[in-house]
Amino acid sequence: MGLSSYRCESCERRVKEPLQKSILGRNVCAECVRATLLGAGVTVISGDPGAGAGVWSMLMRKLRRGGRA
């Protein structure tokens, strides 16, 4: 029984606050959401150099589609 803790799918830490959905569709802690948004953080956490760039280009595409410029 996990009491009221959640396991982050990204950094695998147990956190007390509810997880959030990252743009990758994973349930991650608030810190990882921020790291994901920063793009570079993903590289550090997952150890996958491609992940950061992938997230970043995905983000940029999203932003462009948002019609904010």
- Which spans of this chain sit near Zn ion (rule: CB under 5 A)? 8, 10-11, 28-29, 32
Which CB, 12 or 60, lies closer to Zn ion? 12
- As a whole number of angstroms, the longest Cα–Cα distance in the chain is 48
Question: For tokens 């992940």, what's the residue?
Answer: 51
- Minimum CB separation of residue 65 from Zn ion in Å reads 27
Which CB, 31 or 54, lies closer to Zn ion? 31
Which CB, 20 or 53, lies closer to Zn ion? 20
- Minimum CB separation of residue 64 from Zn ion in Å reads 28
- DSSP structure string for 2-57: -TT-EE-TTT--EESSPPEE-TTS-EE-HHHHHHHHHSHHHHHHH--HHHHHHHHH
